Amino acid sequence: MGPVRRSRDPGPEQRSDIRAANRDLPAATRIARLFVAAPASVVVALPAFMLKRCSGTGQPEAVFVAGTAFTGCMVLCPGVLIAAFGT
């Protein structure tokens, strides 16, 4: 038998600790994260829109792609900021 693989998924106790740590952050820190994540998401969404539009697709599809890029970046940015600077 080979080595036992362990999941990287934190247990329920650790997940609740992470959520509690985020709730304990000062409002200024949470707002600062938002002010960093929103412009970064716009910077990602605009080229996605322009590239899709230049490829010859219609505007509604390009807007959909840009919205998806914006949403994806808004989801990833807080995780990256937390990983880089900690809670």
Coil, strand or helix at 33: helix
Asked if the model's pLDDT at residue 2 lies above 60, the reply is no
Report pLDDT digits (tens) over 46-70.
Answer: 999 999 999 999 999 999 999 999 9
Residues 6+ apart with CB under 8 A from 37: 73, 74, 77, 78, 81
Residue 16 has pLDDT above 70, yes or no: no
Mean pLDDT of 35-41: 90
- Give, to the nearest 10 degrees, the angle between helix 59-85 and helix 27-54: 140
pLDDT at 27 over 60: yes
Summarize the confidence of residues 34-38 as an average pLDDT. 88
**Per-residue pLDDT at 71 exceeds 80:** yes
From CA 16, how far away is CA 26, in angstroms rounded? Answer: 18
Dig out the tokens for 36 from the structure: 């960093």
